[in-house]
């Protein structure tokens, strides 16, 4: 009865998905695992200010459905229970406790967002529940000494900001910098990364550093304030809703700074299209996922694989939304980890395999972007490539840049 209640409460984005195949030697005593089932939990922002990311959860639901249809792994079905937390940390705590203590999930997969996952990180580590491939580039997910049960996935926000700062020093060393950041660990990592590279120049160059709250209706006043500062460089560390607002507002103000936007808000479908493609011309980001609109991938085998998947399992979805190729990469990473478990799905072995991924190449990641983890390396992806919006697509430039995190 409780399962029915929970899935109903989660709406159409919760799913119970089966994966069938060879029966392995896993202990029947492993939490969330039986001889026929593995339960996996996820919290996702299907509503609220970060609801654009709900595509990630929907993509994973479809991904596991395909694995189920293809016969699965180790004779077990996967109960993938993806529930809405609205990007609200108190709700994340409530939902995570329900998933762990009442649903009895084996591990949490790709929970969305820095504030929500920060709210449950200590709890999950105390319970020794793997918190895997968190959908956030915050540095805090790479802290195996204090939080060994938590690992991120995407490149570090701080490293990304360092790359932007290097570009600024090379191309506009005398510029005046404005920074708009979300007032939490997510946004503050970008400020820290800029400081890392700009050093003593940061205080001189940064003429306006201003934050916003996820509960703010708009960032219009912040945009006006930043324009008034005289800045000719802007770094926007914002989630999609607010990134789209920034792009629109500075265009309406006829303010034309050298503008950088975080890669989490580089989606054509979720950000560029709502903002207006013509308003975003010249925008720079750092990419690691193949951009659907890039003609370089028109006949790319990896993207053709993804397109076939989307056509069969998500035919009515917006294929310009980069969150879908991202979720496909998460699904591929999770499946590689489960294969490496070789039928032993104890939480200890799941964590061991998650932190022993070597040279994993995924269909929807850019060439040169490779997943590597180890017990001391909790930064699965450490490479990025700069891209500029042309008005119709993201155009990559320069080489793939690797960083080790801060």
Q: Are residues 179 and 282 in the same domain?
A: yes
Rounded average pLDDT over 143-156 = 96
Q: Are residues 151 and 161 in the same domain?
A: no
Q: Is residue 68 part of a domain?
A: yes
Q: Is residue 339 part of a domain?
A: yes
Q: Are residues 126 and 54 in the same domain?
A: yes
Q: Are residues 41 and 134 in the same domain?
A: yes
- CATH number of the CATH domain containing 228: 3.40.50.2300
Q: Are residues 96 and 6 in the same domain?
A: yes
Q: Is residue 292 part of a domain?
A: no
Q: What is the pLDDT of residue 405?
A: 45
Q: How many domains does the chain have?
A: 2
Whether pLDDT at 17 is above 80: no
Q: Is residue 104 part of a domain?
A: yes
Q: Are residues 191 and 309 in the same domain?
A: no
pLDDT digits (tens, 9 = 90+) for 66-76: 988 888 889 89
Q: Are residues 340 and 261 in the same domain?
A: no
Rounded average pLDDT over 19-38 = 64
Q: Are residues 112 and 227 in the same domain?
A: no
Q: Is residue 380 part of a domain?
A: no
What is the residue range of 324's domain? Answer: 2-155+300-375
Q: Is residue 367 part of a domain?
A: yes
Q: Is residue 293 part of a domain?
A: no
Q: Supply 174's token pair.
A: 């005398």
Q: Are residues 151 and 167 in the same domain?
A: no
pLDDT digits (tens, 9 = 90+) for 173-193: 999 999 999 999 999 999 999
Q: Are residues 205 and 267 in the same domain?
A: yes
pLDDT digits (tens, 9 = 90+) for 106-140: 999 999 999 999 999 999 999 999 999 999 999 89
Q: Is residue 174 part of a domain?
A: yes
Residues 6 or more apart whose CB falls under 8 angstroms from that of 314 comprise 58, 59, 62, 324
Q: Are residues 245 and 346 in the same domain?
A: no
pLDDT digits (tens, 9 = 90+) for 263-292: 999 989 889 999 999 999 999 999 999 988
Q: Are residues 112 and 223 in the same domain?
A: no
């Amino acid at each position: 009865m409780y399962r029915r209640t929970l899935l109903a409460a989660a709406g159409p984005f919760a799913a119970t998905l089966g994966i069938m195949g060879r029966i392995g030697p896993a202990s029947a005593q492993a939490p969330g695992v039986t001889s026929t089932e593995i339960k996996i939990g996820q919290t996702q922002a299907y509503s609220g200010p970060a609801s654009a990311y709900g595509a990630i959860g929907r993509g994973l639901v479809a991904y596991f459905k395909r694995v189920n249809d293809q016969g699965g792994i180790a004779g077990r079905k996967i109960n993938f229970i993806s529930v809405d937390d609205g990007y609200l940390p108190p709700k994340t705590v409530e939902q995570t406790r329900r998933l762990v203590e009442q649903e009895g999930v084996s591990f949490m997969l790709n929970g969305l967002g820095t504030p929500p996952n920060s709210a449950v990180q200590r709890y999950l580590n105390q319970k020794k529940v793997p918190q895997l491939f968190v959908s956030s580039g915050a540095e805090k997910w790479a802290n195996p000494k204090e939080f060994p049960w938590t690992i991120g996935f995407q490149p570090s926000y701080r490293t990304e900001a360092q790359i932007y700062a290097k570009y600024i020093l090379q191309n506009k060393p005398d510029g005046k910098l404005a920074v708009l950041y979300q007032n939490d660990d997510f946004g503050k990592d970008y400020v820290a990364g800029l400081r890392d590279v700009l050093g003593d120049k940061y205080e001189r160059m940064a003429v306006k550093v201003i934050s916003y709250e996820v509960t703010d209706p708009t960032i219009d006043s912040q945009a006006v304030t930043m324009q008034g500062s005289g800045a000719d460089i802007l770094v926007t560390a914002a989630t999609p809703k607010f990134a789209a607002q920034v792009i629109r507002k500075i265009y309406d103000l006829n303010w034309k700074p050298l503008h950088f936007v975080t890669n989490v808000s580089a989606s054509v479908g979720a950000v560029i299209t709502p903002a207006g493609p013509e308003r975003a011309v010249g925008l720079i980001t750092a990419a690691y996922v193949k951009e659907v609109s890039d003609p370089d991938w028109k006949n790319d085998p990896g993207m053709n694989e993804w397109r076939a998947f989307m056509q069969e399992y998500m035919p009515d979805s917006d294929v310009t939304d980069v969150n879908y190729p991202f979720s496909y990469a998460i699904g591929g990473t999770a499946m590689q980890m489960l294969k490496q478990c070789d039928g032993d799905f104890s939480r200890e072995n799941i964590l061991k395999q998650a932190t022993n991924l070597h040279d994993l190449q995924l269909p929807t990641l850019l060439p040169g972007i490779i997943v590597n983890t180890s017990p001391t390396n909790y930064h699965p992806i450490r490479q990025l490539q700069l891209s500029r919006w042309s008005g119709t697509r993201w155009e990559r430039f320069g080489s793939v840049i690797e960083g080790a995190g801060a």
